[in-house]
C-alpha cells in the first residue's frame, strides 16, 4: 500500500498541510463569514420576533383591559337606560291610566245622567201608556166618555200606594 511507504510520508504530510491550509483559508474567508452572518441574522430575527411578540402581548393586554372597561361601561349604561326606560314606561302607563280613569268617570257620569233621563222619561211614558191603555180598556167595556183628569188621579193614587208593578 502506498500510504504505508515511509519514503512518501513527507510529501503526503506536505500536501495534507497545504490542503488543510487552503481549506482553512477558503472556509475562513468565504464560508464561515456567510454562516456567521446567517446565524447573526437568525438571532436578530428571533430576538426581533420575541420583542414583537412581547409588544403584541402587551398591546393585547391593554386592548383586553380597554375591552373589559368598555364592556363594564356598556353594562352600566345599559342598566341606566333600562332603568330610565322603565321609569318612562311607568310614568306613561300611569298617565294613560289617569286619562282612562277620567274618561271612564266621564262616561259613567254621562251614562248615569242618560239613565236618569230614561227613568224620568220612562215614568212619564209609563204614566202615558197606562193612561192610554186604561182608557182603551174602559172604552171597550163601556160607551161612556172617560174623564181623563179622574183617570189620571186614580193612576197617581195607585202609584202612590205602591200597588203597581213598575
Sequence-separated (6 or more) residues with CB below 8 Å from residue 146: 135, 138, 139
Residue 150 has pLDDT above 70, yes or no: yes
Task: Give 41's pLDDT tier (boundaries 50, 70, 90).
Answer: very high
- Nearest 5°: the CA angle 124, 127, 128 is 85
Q: Which pLDDT value is given to residue 43?
A: 96
Q: Which pLDDT value is given to residue 164?
A: 55
Q: How far apart are CA 121 and CA 125, in angstroms?
A: 6
- Nearest 5°: the CA angle 25, 26, 32 is 100
Q: Which residue has the higher pLDDT, 118 or 88?
A: 88
Domain membership flag for residue 40:
yes
Domain membership flag for residue 117:
yes
Domain membership flag for residue 73:
yes
Sequence-separated (6 or more) residues with CB below 8 Å from residue 138: 146, 151
What's the average model confidence in pLDDT over 139-151? 78
C-beta separation of 113 from 97 below 8 A: no
CA-nearest of 133, 127, 128, 138 to 160 is: 127
**Total domains present in the chain:** 1
Domain membership flag for residue 17:
yes
Domain membership flag for residue 166:
no
What's the average model confidence in pLDDT over 85-103? 92
Average pLDDT, the chain: 87
Task: Give 72's pLDDT tier (boundaries 50, 70, 90).
Answer: very high
Residue 156 has pLDDT above 90, yes or no: no
Grid cell digits, residue 37:
452572518
CA-nearest of 94, 162, 155 to 124 is: 155
Residue 27 belongs to what domain range?
2-161
Task: Give 60's pLDDT tier (boundaries 50, 70, 90).
Answer: very high
Q: Which pLDDT value is given to residue 47?
A: 96
Q: Which residue has the higher pLDDT, 115 or 124?
A: 115
Amino acid at each position: 500500500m502506498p500510504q504505508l511507504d515511509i519514503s512518501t510520508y513527507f510529501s503526503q504530510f506536505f500536501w495534507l498541510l497545504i490542503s488543510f491550509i487552503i481549506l482553512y483559508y477558503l472556509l475562513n474567508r468565504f464560508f464561515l463569514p456567510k454562516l456567521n452572518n446567517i446565524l447573526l441574522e437568525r438571532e436578530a430575527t428571533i430576538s426581533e420576533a420575541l420583542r414583537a411578540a412581547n409588544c403584541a402581548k402587551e398591546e393585547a393586554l391593554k386592548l383586553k383591559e380597554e375591552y373589559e372597561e368598555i364592556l363594564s361601561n356598556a353594562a352600566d349604561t345599559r342598566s341606566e337606560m333600562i332603568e330610565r326606560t322603565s321609569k318612562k314606561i311607568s310614568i306613561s302607563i300611569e298617565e294613560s291610566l289617569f286619562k282612562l280613569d277620567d274618561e271612564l268617570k266621564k262616561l259613567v257620569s254621562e251614562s248615569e245622567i242618560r239613565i236618569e233621563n230614561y227613568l224620568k222619561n220612562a215614568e212619564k211614558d209609563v204614566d202615558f201608556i197606562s193612561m192610554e191603555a186604561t182608557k182603551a180598556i174602559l172604552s171597550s167595556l163601556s160607551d161612556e166618555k172617560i174623564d181623563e183628569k179622574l183617570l189620571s188621579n186614580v193612576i197617581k193614587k195607585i202609584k202612590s200606594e205602591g200597588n203597581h208593578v213598575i
